[in-house]
Amino acid sequence: MSPTTHLLASWIVAAYTTDNLRDRRLVTLAGVVPDLDGLSIVIDIANGSFARGNLYYYPQYHHWLLHGLPAALLCSAILAAFGRRRWHVFGLAFLVFHLHLLCDLVGSRGPDATDLWPIFYFGPLSQHPMWTWKHQWGLDSWSNRIITVMLFVWALWLAVKRGDSFVGVFNRRIDRVFVGVLRKWCSEAGG
Calculate mean pLDDT across residues 37-60: 76
Read off the pTM: 0.90
What does the mean pLDDT of the chain come to? 90
The number of beta carbons lying within 10 Å of the beta carbon of residue 49 is 16
Looking at per-residue pLDDT, the higher value among 110 and 137 belongs to: 137
Q: Can you tell me the distance from the alpha carbon of 23 to that of 92, in angstroms, rounded to the nearest whole number?
A: 9
Q: Can you tell me the distance from the alpha carbon of 69 to that of 168, in angstroms, rounded to the nearest whole number?
A: 28
Which of 95, 83, 69 shows the shortest CA–CA distance to 26? 83
* DSSP string over 113-166: TT----B-TTTTT--S--B--TTPPBTT-HHHHHHHHHHHHHHHHHHHHHS--G
pLDDT at residue 191 tops 60: no
Residues 95-134 pLDDT 10s: 999 999 999 999 888 777 777 888 889 988 888 888 888 8
For residue 51, the model assigns a pLDDT of: 66
The number of beta carbons lying within 10 Å of the beta carbon of residue 162 is 12
Calculate mean pLDDT across residues 6-33: 97
Calculate mean pLDDT across residues 65-81: 96
Instruction: Answer whether 77's CB lies under 8 Å from 90's CB.
Output: yes
